[in-house]
Structure 1
Amino acid sequence: MSNKTKELKGILVNQLTSKPIGISAIDFPTLRNIVKFTSREPQNYDPFVPLKNVEQIEKDVKNSYYQRLTNDKRVSNIYKFLLKEISNIHSSNTNALGSFPTSVIISLDLNQEFETKEEYLEFIKSAKQEDYIGAFYKEIEDNEIELTIPDGKFALIVDGQHRLMGMIKLFKDASNNEIKIGRNKLKDEYPNLSNQLVLDYIKQFEFNCTLLLGFDKWEQGKVFADVNFNQKPVNKSLYYDIFGSYPDPNKNDIFLSHMLAMHLNNNKDSVIQGFIKMLGSGKGFFSQAFFVEAILNHFRPKGIWASLPMDYLNDGSDYKILPKFFKSYLKAIKDVFNPYWPQDGQDTSRKYPNILCKTTGMGALIKLIDPIYRKLKIDTDFKSITSEDLTNLLKSELVKAKDKGADFFSKEGSFSGSGSLGLQNKLYTALGQELGYFKK
Structure 2
Amino acid sequence: MIDYTEIEFTEVSQITRGRLGIAKVKFYELEDIVRFTARTEEKTDTLTSPSDVLKVKAENARFYQRLINDDRTAKIQQFIIGEALKEYRNKKGLSSAKSLGLFPTATLIAINTYPADSIEEYEEQYYQYEKKYENQITLCFEKDNIVYVPKGNKTVLIVDGQHRIGALKSLYPRINESLTYKNKLVTNIVDSDFLPFLRDRIKNFEVLCTLLINFDVYEQGEIFASVNFNQKPVNRSLYYDIFASSPDTEKNELKLAHDLVNHLNYNNSSVLKGLIDMLGNGDGVVSQSAVMENLMKLFGRGKVWNTLYLDYQNDGEKYIVMGAFLRAYFAQIKETFDLYWPGQGVYKRKDYNDVLLKTTGMGAWIRLINDIYAELNPNHDKPLEEIKTLLKNKFDLIKDKADFYFDKKSTFVQGAGQGLQSKLYKQIAFDLGYIQTPD
Q: Verify same fold: TM over 0.5.
A: yes
Determine the structure 2 residue equivalent to 1:99.
102
Aligned pair 1:135/2:166, yes or no? Answer: no
| 1:113-262 → structure 2 map (5 Å cutoff) | 114-123=116-125, 124-128=127-131, 129-130=134-135, 132=137, 134-139=139-144, 145-151=145-151, 152-174=153-175, 177-191=177-191, 193-246=193-246, 252-262=252-262
Deviations 1:42-99 (Å, cap 9, x if unpaired)?
A: 11011122446565234125x2432101222221221122112222333325712222
Aligned pair 1:338/2:317, yes or no? Answer: no
Determine the structure 2 residue equivalent to 1:297.
297
Q: CA deviation at 1:400?
A: 1.5
Aligned pair 1:396/2:399, yes or no? Answer: no
Determine the structure 2 residue equivalent to 1:431.
428
Q: CA deviation at 1:254?
A: 1.0
Aligned partners of 1:278 and 1:287 also within 8 Å: yes
Q: CA deviation at 1:179?
A: 1.7
2:347 and 2:78 map into 1 onto residues whose CA distance is 38
Determine the structure 1 residue equivalent to 2:418.
421
Change (3 A) 1:257 1:408: same
Change (3 A) 1:137 1:164: same
Change (3 A) 1:213 1:368: same
For the residue of structure 2 that corresponds to 1:244, the secondary structure is helix
Aligned pair 1:24/2:23, yes or no? Answer: yes
Determine the structure 2 residue equivalent to 1:48.
47
Deviations 1:222-249 (Å, cap 9, x if unpaired)?
A: 2212211111111111101111212556
Aligned partners of 2:42 and 2:57 also within 8 Å: no
1:108 and 1:425 map into 2 onto residues whose CA distance is 47
Q: What count of residue pairs does the alignment treat as equivalent? A: 428
Q: CA deviation at 1:201?
A: 1.4
Q: CA deviation at 1:339?
A: 2.5
1:54 and 1:226 map into 2 onto residues whose CA distance is 24
1:321 and 1:214 map into 2 onto residues whose CA distance is 40
Task: Specify the code of the residue in structure 1 equivalent to 2:76.
Answer: I
Aligned partners of 1:253 and 1:296 also within 8 Å: yes
Which range is displaced more, 87-96 or 212-221? 87-96
Determine the structure 1 residue equivalent to 2:112.
109
Task: Specify the code of the residue in structure 1 equivalent to 2:364.
Answer: A
Change (3 A) 1:149 1:348: closer
* Unmatched segments (≥5 aa) in structure 2: none
Change (3 A) 1:160 1:264: same
Please provide the CA RMSD for this pair.
Answer: 2.3
Task: Specify the code of the residue in structure 2 equivalent to 1:130.
Answer: N
Task: Specify the code of the residue in structure 1 equivalent to 2:70.
Answer: D
Aligned partners of 2:243 and 2:249 also within 8 Å: no
Aligned partners of 1:170 and 1:179 also within 8 Å: no
Aligned partners of 2:376 and 2:387 also within 8 Å: no
Identity of aligned residues (%): 37
User: Normalized against structure 2, the TM-score is what?
Assistant: 0.91
Task: Specify the code of the residue in structure 2 equivalent to 1:278.
Answer: M
For the residue of structure 1 that corresponds to 2:46, the secondary structure is coil
Change (3 A) 1:182 1:150: same
1:262 and 1:333 map into 2 onto residues whose CA distance is 19
Which range is displaced more, 250-259 or 326-335? 250-259
2:380 and 2:310 map into 1 onto residues whose CA distance is 18
Which range is displaced more, 31-40 or 77-86? 77-86
Task: Specify the code of the residue in structure 2 equivalent to 1:68.
Answer: R
User: Normalized against structure 1, the TM-score is what?
Assistant: 0.90
Which range is displaced more, 248-257 or 8-17? 248-257
Which range is displaced more, 69-78 or 85-94? 85-94
